[in-house]
Chain A
C-alpha cells in the first residue's frame, strides 16, 4: 500500500480518477461509450480525441523540460504549420485529392522541423537561455503565420485533410491514433534506448554529463527539434479540426497548458527525471477538467481561473516549505501526544 502511495504517478492518477468520478456522478452518461457503425462514441472518447494536439505538444515539452529547458514557441509553430498546410491545399487545383494533402503535410512538417532546428540552434549552439531563445520564435512565429495566410483565416474543403481530426480508423478516432502512436514512439526512443537516461543526465547536471562523455549539445538540440516536429503535427490536427488556419488563435496558450500538463504529471521544471506516463495523465487531467468546466455551464473564457487554482495547488503541494510545515506540525502533534502520556504514566506508577 505504501509503495503505491509513494509511486510518483499516484497523486496525478488520483486527480484524474477523481475528476472522472465526479463527472460520472454528476451525469452517469459521461462514462458510457457507445458503438455506432463499429465506431466508438462518448464523452471519454471526445476527451481523448480533443486532447491530441495538447498531447503531442506536451510530449515534446516533457523532453525539452527534462533537459532543463522550456519551449515557449510551440503555439507559434502550430500556427505556422497549420497555415502552411492550408495555404498549399487552398492554392492547389484539387484541394480534395490525397496527393495534394500529402504534399501539404510533408511541407508543413518540414517547416515545423526547421523551426525546431532554429530553437535548438539558439539554445544548444549559441547558448541562449531557453525561455528567451524560444520567446523570439513565439513572437515572430505568429507574425510569419499571419503573413502566410495574408492576415485572413484560410478555410478549405478537403475531405482527406478533415479526416485527420474527425475521421475514424479501426473504430477509433484517427487523431487519437496519432497521439497513441506519438506516445509509443517517444516512449520507445526514450525508454528502450539509452537516450532517456542521457537526457536525464544532461538535465540533472549538464557540465558533469559533458565531462562524462555525454554529447549534451546534440541531446539538447534534438529535444527542441522533436518538440518543433510534434508541435507541427499538433498544428495540423488543430487546423484540420476547425477546417481553417487561424494564425491568431491556433495554439494560443498551448505552451502554458503543455507546461502545466508536464508539471501535473510530476516532471520537475528543474530538469532531470521525467515521466512520459505522467505527462499523458497530466494532459488527460487538463482535458477532463476543461470538459468538466464546460459541463458546469461556466463560459470557457472563464476556465483560466480554475487552471490558475490548479497550478497554485500543485506548486504548493510540491513546495519544500509546505512539506517542512507539515513535518513540524506532525512532530508537535506527536510530542504533544507523548507529553500527554507522560503524566498519565506517572499516575499509574
Chain B
C-alpha cells in the first residue's frame, strides 16, 4: 500500500531526479560515455561485418587483451592517487623474459611465476620509494623504472625464449566453453584482477585512502590517513600487475621477448583515461578501465576486419583520448565553478 503511494510522486519527479543524479554522479559521466562508445563501436561493426559479434570473436577480444586489462587495473590505482606509472610496459617485458628464461633453465613454474610477480613488485617498490620518500615526480621516477626494466629485460636475454612449460601453456590453451563462448585461464585471471581491484577500491580502507589521496593529499594526511604507505602500495600493486601481465603475455605468445610492450604503457594510460579515470586523480573506476581496454581492443579488431593499416589504431586511439580529455576538462571546470 505504502509502496503504491510512493510511486506516484517518484514518477512525477523523474526529470529532476535525473538532473540530481547527473550532478551528483558527474564523475560517472566519462565512464558512461565509454560504455556508449563501446556499444556504438560494436553495433556499427556488426552492421558492417555480420560475423563481428559472434561468440568466438567476442571471446577472443578478452583473450587478446588480457595482459592490457591487468596493466590497466594496476595503472588505475596509481592514476587515482594522482600519480603516473610509465614503467608498466617494460616491467611486463622484463618479467615475461625473466619467467621464460627461468622456465627454460628447468625451474618449475611454482617458483618462476612468483619470481615474476616479485620482480615486478620490486621495481614498483623502487618507484614508490623514489616518489614517496625522495619527492621525485612520479613521471621521472617511473621513467627510471621504465629504463631499468627495459634494460634488465635485455640483460636476461637479447633473443626471444620459447616457453614449453605445461602450466604456462595450460593458461592459454585451455578453453572453458559455454555455447560458442569460451574463456581461457588468462581471461579468468584478468577478470579476477578487475574484480579484486573493484572490491578493494570501493569497500576497503586502503581503497578509500587511494581516492582520498587523489582528491587532496594534504587533506588526506590531515585526516590521519596513512598516505605514505598507501602511495608506496599503489606503485607496488602496479608493479605486481606488470608481473602478472608478463605472465599472461608470455602464455599468450608462447615465448618471452625483451622487445615486448614498447609503447604499451601509452595504450594502458589511454585505456584508463578513456575508461573515465581523471589523470588529476581522485575520480575514476576500475570497471571503466576494463571498458577502456575493450574499446581499444574493439577498435583494433575492427581495423583488422577492414584490412586497413594497423596505424589507424594509434590515430583513432589518440583522437578518442583527446575527446575524453576535453570532456574531462569540461567536467572539472564545471565542478570547480560549482564550488
Contact = CB atoms under 8 A, between A and B. Distances in A.
Interface of A: 70, 122, 126-129, 131-133, 135-147, 150-151, 247, 252, 256, 259-260, 263, 269, 299, 301-309, 311-312, 315-316, 319-322
B151 A252 contact: no
A141 B267 CA distance: 14
Nearest to B148: A308
Nearest to A257: B147
A136 B155 contact: no
B313 A304 contact: no
A136 B322 contact: yes
A256 B146 contact: yes
A131 B139 contact: yes
7 contacts: A136-B321, A139-B270, A301-B154, A303-B151, A304-B147, A311-B140, A315-B130
Nearest to A143: B314
A256 B134 contact: no
Given A127-B329, A315-B136, A321-B134, A132 B279 contact: yes
Contacts of A141: 318
A137 B318 contact: yes
Contacts of A306: 151
A320 B134 CA distance: 7
B148 A304 contact: yes
A320 B135 contact: yes
B151 A311 contact: no
Contact of B318 (A140, A299, A308, A312): A140
Closest A-B pairs by Cβ, 8 of them: A140-B318, A143-B314, A305-B151, A304-B151, A146-B311, A308-B148, A308-B147, A319-B134
Contacts of A129: 279-280
Given A129-B279, A301-B258, 14 more contacts: A140-B318, A141-B318, A142-B314, A143-B314, A143-B318, A144-B315, A150-B309, A256-B143, A256-B147, A269-B140, A304-B147, A305-B152, A311-B144, A319-B135
A323 to B, nearest CB: 10
A131 B133 contact: no
B137 interface: yes
Contacts of A322: 134
B318 to A, nearest CB: 3
Nearest to A128: B325
Contacts of B158: 299, 301
B33 interface: no
Interface in B113-158: 126, 130, 133-137, 139-141, 143-148, 150-152, 154-155, 158
B273 to A, nearest CB: 7
Given A304-B148, A315-B141, A151 B309 contact: yes
Contacts of B279: 129, 131-132
A141 B318 CA distance: 9
B22 interface: no
Contacts of B280: 129
B38 interface: no
B237 to A, nearest CB: 21
Contacts of A256: 143, 146-147
B147 A311 contact: yes
A143 B266 CA distance: 13
Contacts of B144: 308, 311-312, 315
Contacts of B314: 139-140, 142-143, 146
B312 A143 contact: yes
A247 B263 CA distance: 13
B196 interface: no
B78 to A, nearest CB: 14
Given A139-B314, A139-B321, A299 B154 contact: yes
Contacts of B270: 135, 139
Contacts of A136: 318-319, 321-322, 325
A126 B329 contact: yes
Given A304-B147, A304-B150, A315 B309 contact: no
B233 interface: no
A316 B318 CA distance: 34
Contact of B140 (A145, A247, A263): A263
Nearest to A268: B137
Interface in B147-178: 147-148, 150-152, 154-155, 158
Given A139-B314, A302-B154, A321 B140 contact: no
Given A132-B279, A147-B311, A321-B133, A139 B266 contact: yes
Nearest to A73: B318
A201 B23 CA distance: 38
